Amino acid sequence: MVGLYFFSPATAALAAEGSVPVAAKKDDATTGLVLNGDAKCTACHDEGDGPELMAIGKTRHGTRADSRTPSCISCHGKTEKHLAKKGTVKPDITYGRKSTSTAEERSGACLACHQKDAKRSHWAGSVHDARDVACSSCHKIHVAKDDVRDKRTEAEVCFTCHKEQRAQVSKPSHHPIMEGKVACSDCHNAHGSVGPKLMTRDSVNDTCYTCHMEKRGPFVHSHQPVDEDCSNCHNPHGTTAESLLKTRAPFLCHSCHTTPHSSPQPAVLAGPAPAVPHWSNGPVITQGRACLNCHTQIHGSNNPSGLSPTPQRLFR
Binding positions for another protein, 50-79, rule CB under 8 A: 50-51, 54-60, 62-69
d(CA 188, CA 204): 10
The least distance separating another protein from the CB of residue 149, rounded to whole angstroms, comes to: 13
Instruction: Establish if 121 lies at the interface with another protein (CB under 8 A).
Output: yes
Q: What are phi and psi of 181, to 5 degrees?
A: -105, -25
Nearer to another protein, 10 or 26 (CB): 10
Instruction: Establish if 248 lies at the interface with another protein (CB under 8 A).
Output: yes
Q: Which of 20, 86, 157, 188 binds another protein (CB under 8 A)?
A: 86
Instruction: Establish if 29 lies at the interface with another protein (CB under 8 A).
Output: no
Site for another protein in 256-295 (CB under 8 A): 256-273, 276-280, 282-284, 286-289, 293-294
Q: Which of 13, 21, 28, 29 binds another protein (CB under 8 A)?
A: 13
Are 223 and 160 contacting, i.e. CB atoms less than 8 angstroms apart?
no
Q: Give the interface size with another protein as a residue count (CB under 8 A).
A: 158
Nearer to another protein, 139 or 151 (CB): 151
Q: Which of 219, 237, 244, 245 binds another protein (CB under 8 A)?
A: 219
d(CA 123, CA 192): 5
The least distance separating another protein from the CB of residue 13, rounded to whole angstroms, comes to: 7
Stretch that binds another protein, among 72-80, 170-178, 183-191 (CB under 8 A): 170-178
Q: Which of 21, 28, 196, 197 binds another protein (CB under 8 A)?
A: 196
Q: Which of 23, 25, 43, 200 binds another protein (CB under 8 A)?
A: 43
The least distance separating another protein from the CB of residue 128, rounded to whole angstroms, comes to: 12
Instruction: Establish if 176 lies at the interface with another protein (CB under 8 A).
Output: yes
Nearer to another protein, 21 or 179 (CB): 179
Residue 199's DSSP bridge partners are 188
Q: Which of 81, 149, 188, 215 binds another protein (CB under 8 A)?
A: 215
Instruction: Establish if 34 lies at the interface with another protein (CB under 8 A).
Output: yes
d(CA 209, CA 202): 11
Stretch that binds another protein, among 70-78, 183-191, 222-230 (CB under 8 A): 222-230
Q: Which of 16, 27, 75, 153 binds another protein (CB under 8 A)?
A: 16
Nearer to another protein, 21 or 278 (CB): 278
The least distance separating another protein from the CB of residue 244, rounded to whole angstroms, comes to: 12
Ordered DSSP codes for the chain: ------S-HHHHHHHHHT-S-GGGSPPPTT--SSSTT-HHHHTTSSTTT-GGGGGGGGSGGG-TTSTT---HHHHH---HHHHHTTTSS--SS--STT--S-HHHHHHHHHHHHTTSGGGTT-TT-HHHHTT--HHHH--SSSSS-GGGSTTTHHHHHTTT-HHHHHHTTSSB--STTTTSS-HHHHB-TT--SSGGGBSSSSHHHHHHTT-GGG----SB--HHHHH-GGGTB-TT-BSSGGGBSS-TTHHHHTT--SSS-S-------SSPPSS--TTSHHHHHSTTGGGGT---TT-B-----SSSPGGGT--
